[in-house]
Structure 1
Amino acid sequence: MSSYKNQGVFIVKTIYKVKAYHAGNKARADVDSVFDQFSHNYIHNYSVDNNLYLNNGNNKNIKYYLIRSINAVRTFFEFRKCKNKVLLMHYPPLFPAVLGDNISFLYKNNETVFLVHDVDSIRYGTDEKKDIDVLNLAKVVIIHNEMMAKKLVQLGMTVPYIVNIHLFDYLVESRIEEKKYKKAIVFAGNLGKSVFLRDWIALERNYDIDLYGMDFPAECTQFDKVHYKGQEPPDTLPLKIDGGLGLVWDGPQTDTCGGMLGNYMRYNNPHKFSLYIASGIPVIVWNDAAIASIVKQYKIGYCINDLREINQIMDQISEKEYHTLQLNEKNLQQKVIHGGFLKDAVVKALAYVRE
């Protein structure tokens, strides 16, 4: 990696004003930490929405719009001076619309490498052309998996080189203790947005549910075997999870991952999947999810079609089998917590750009 440092590789660095307790910031911060190992040259993006630190996003006043405008202008001129560099960037970039539609010159004037976090046109059904037009300005795109690559090519992406990251990293600096065998399902994330949660909790179950995250639905406390563990900073959450199996599920239903968000799992590598691997617990995922192939290949958990199938898993899983799944996961865990997957992807991307 050191051979790339200071050889025209620049990182587009977003300046954050506050730290947030959600996975989106953790994912981007981890990517920045790995990017930093390839270069210490930065192009700064000051234009992140400053409602993060003004009035908690409420009552956007004159000060809000003034600072936002100044930051947008600073960012525009910062980008304008960048030419003939290799850029490592997040996608989607955190630019306000006033900038986002007017900085194609940044991608055109440089050899751009995008690390894709999400593709909103697939996730929410928004304008596909908007995503594809920007991605096609890149030299290299680092994507989640082969299913996402095929989908983007189908939608019109013609990037010269595509790199499959396989798994998102989840950096952890502290030592992670081995997690204990227990008949519990861990679910972490934005609980208020997890529409299936209420119906799942209401099912007849032979296992406990441990919930971590924001916006816990208060009505869920009326059900047995439901334990709200609170909202933990993403960096320390793998240390707090004490055992069980991690669930990756989305959409409004319990019998499948349906709706737009459920369907997105066919193409997405959810960050919570990496969280569970970093934590050292086996996983349960939807059988039609893109990540199901990883679960099957490495034998690190179970793939299901319906959340009712978890009862049978819990009836059959022994402590010995649980520890076998953990052992199978160990190499992935070590690579995830040390940034190994993105490092490998960036090395491939830069090697292509240098050809």
Structure 2
Amino acid sequence: MRIHITNIYGQSSKSVAMIAQNTTAEIAKSLGFNELAIYFYDINVDNSRELSCRIDGILSGVANGDIVFFQSPTWNDMRYDEAFIAKLQAYRDIKIGIFVNDVLPLMFESNEYLLKRVVTLYNQASLLIVPSDRMLRFLQKNGLTVRKTVIQQCWDYPTAAHLEIPMAKPYLNFIGNPEKFEFVRNWQYEFPLHLFTAPTEIVKGNVTFEGWQYTTNLISKLSKGGWGLVWAQGHVKKYMEMCVSYKLSTYLAAGIPVIVEEDLSNQEIIRKNDLGLVVESLEQAINILKHMTPADYQAKAANVKRFSFLLREGYFTKKFLLDAVHKILQNS
């Protein structure tokens, strides 16, 4: 028996989706998993026979009785994902674990019609790895019948970057595109916002543009201090209440305390480990910061330093993958 995991290639180097899958696959390989590389492309260039042959090539190292973890979605269209799982089902005694990275019908309102198809795809798995308890309950209400499940909890962020000792500086850091996150467009709070994106005229107010940074540079810059902000509005906010935020792990891996909304899916981790502030509004957060001492900040930063070892060493991913293997092979 061998254990395999899918991994996407071919997207932009800025793609968080690809970075997250690549990171998961690398950690899985350290546990002895075999990688099944999937290229991101326009599947309309393939007819059904060509698509079948393409997937056969990817699965050439898979044998009857193996375990395959499928990172979902592949971003190659639902038809590709459905064809891939159908191919796996043809193997005798195959065991399929689907790791839900993102749920397209929940990410984009225009894709809500795909929810039934996505849940049908998930129901073909022996086990499902989901971001949060809230996501699991939502899927179950919408037809999920998979009995064996594992909760992800956090994205890992392995890095060998040089990290500073964070200072209690009066500013907030935010990673995100202003076109997607409207609240950054007119930042009038007294604590400046360090925005990690290219300068744009649609953003006004007390904002410093840090530009887009690749992973190593990004985490090094963040580690200098301030607070990491995880925030959203509208449809994005609804999704973040169920998914796991990659930017949250980025801030924590950098060693800085965070400010998160109380509805964030994994806010309980922040509360239990005292990794920052869980608040109802930005106004509440700013008011707390006004009265916070450097000693208060350093106490939270010390908690983050301890916790972030788990993220930088890949322990969340190792745990949920090993838990998943155990559950797949045991009658529990």
1:111 — aligned with what?
A: 95
State the secondary structure of the residue aligned to 1:102.
helix
1 CA distance for matches of 2:50 and 2:212?
31
1:53 — aligned with what?
A: none
- Give how far 1:270 is off: 0.9
- Give how far 1:97 is off: 4.4
- Give how far 1:187 is off: 0.3
2 CA distance for matches of 1:332 and 1:192?
32
What do the CA deviations read for 1:221-278 (whole angstroms, capped 9, x no partner)?
Answer: x52x311011111243111112111110112xxxxxxx22111122121110111101
2:325 — aligned with what?
A: 350
* One-letter amino acid matched to 1:218: E
1:181 — aligned with what?
A: 168
2:270–2:276 contact (8 Å) kept in structure 1 = yes
1:255 — aligned with what?
A: none
Query: Is 1:76 aligned with 2:55?
Result: yes
What do the CA deviations read for 1:40-60 (whole angstroms, capped 9, x no partner)?
Answer: 5343323x126xxxxxxxxxx
1:260 — aligned with what?
A: 235
Pairs aligned (count): 321
* One-letter amino acid matched to 2:81: G
- Give how far 1:79 is off: 5.2
1:163–1:348 contact (8 Å) kept in structure 2 = yes
Question: Can you give the 5+ residue segments of structure 2 that lack an aligned partner in the other structure?
Answer: none
1:9 — aligned with what?
A: 3
What do the CA deviations read for 1:129-152 (whole angstroms, capped 9, x no partner)?
Answer: 112111111111111121112112
1:45–1:75 contact (8 Å) kept in structure 2 = no
Match of 2:201 among 198, 201, 218: 218
* One-letter amino acid matched to 1:8: R
State the secondary structure of the residue aligned to 2:182.
coil
2:7–2:21 contact (8 Å) kept in structure 1 = no
2:73–2:81 contact (8 Å) kept in structure 1 = no
Structure 1 residues 120, 226: closer, same or farther in 2, change over 3 A?
Answer: same
State the secondary structure of the residue aligned to 2:83.
coil
The residue correspondences of 1:48-67 to structure 2 (distance < 5 A) are 48-49=40-41
1 CA distance for matches of 2:202 and 2:75?
35
2:313 — aligned with what?
A: 338
Match of 2:219 among 217, 238, 256: 238
1:56 — aligned with what?
A: none
2:148–2:328 contact (8 Å) kept in structure 1 = no
Match of 2:232 among 239, 250, 253: 250
1 CA distance for matches of 2:49 and 2:252?
41
2:252 — aligned with what?
A: 277
- Give how far 1:312 is off: 0.4
State the secondary structure of the residue aligned to 1:176.
coil
* One-letter amino acid matched to 1:150: R
1:44–1:75 contact (8 Å) kept in structure 2 = no
The residue correspondences of 1:84-99 to structure 2 (distance < 5 A) are 84-99=65-80
- Give how far 1:87 is off: 0.5
Choose 115-124 or 325-334, whichever is displaced more.
115-124
State the secondary structure of the residue aligned to 1:288.
coil
Query: Is 1:326 aligned with 2:301?
Result: yes
- Give how far 1:18 is off: 6.0
What do the CA deviations read for 1:279-334 (whole angstroms, capped 9, x no partner)?
Answer: 11111111122122111111111122222223202211110000111112223200
Structure 1 residues 300, 43: closer, same or farther in 2, change over 3 A?
Answer: closer
Task: State the TM-score, normalizing by the size of structure 2.
Answer: 0.88
2:241–2:265 contact (8 Å) kept in structure 1 = yes
State the secondary structure of the residue aligned to 1:262.
helix
State the secondary structure of the residue aligned to 1:114.
strand
Query: Is 1:154 aligned with 2:154?
Result: no
1:167 — aligned with what?
A: 154
Match of 2:18 among 21, 25, 45: 25
Structure 1 residues 65, 167: closer, same or farther in 2, change over 3 A?
Answer: closer
Structure 1 residues 162, 317: closer, same or farther in 2, change over 3 A?
Answer: same
2:25–2:35 contact (8 Å) kept in structure 1 = no
Question: Can you give the 5+ residue segments of structure 1 that lack an aligned partner in the other structure?
Answer: 1-6, 51-63, 252-258
Task: State the TM-score, normalizing by the size of structure 1.
Answer: 0.83
2 CA distance for matches of 1:68 and 1:239?
46
Structure 1 residues 19, 103: closer, same or farther in 2, change over 3 A?
Answer: closer
Choose 179-188 or 64-73, whichever is displaced more.
64-73
2 CA distance for matches of 1:275 and 1:147?
22
2:161–2:219 contact (8 Å) kept in structure 1 = no
Match of 1:228 among 206, 209, 225: 209
What do the CA deviations read for 1:97-153 (whole angstroms, capped 9, x no partner)?
Answer: 443343332342321112211112233341321121111111111111211121121
1:206–1:314 contact (8 Å) kept in structure 2 = no
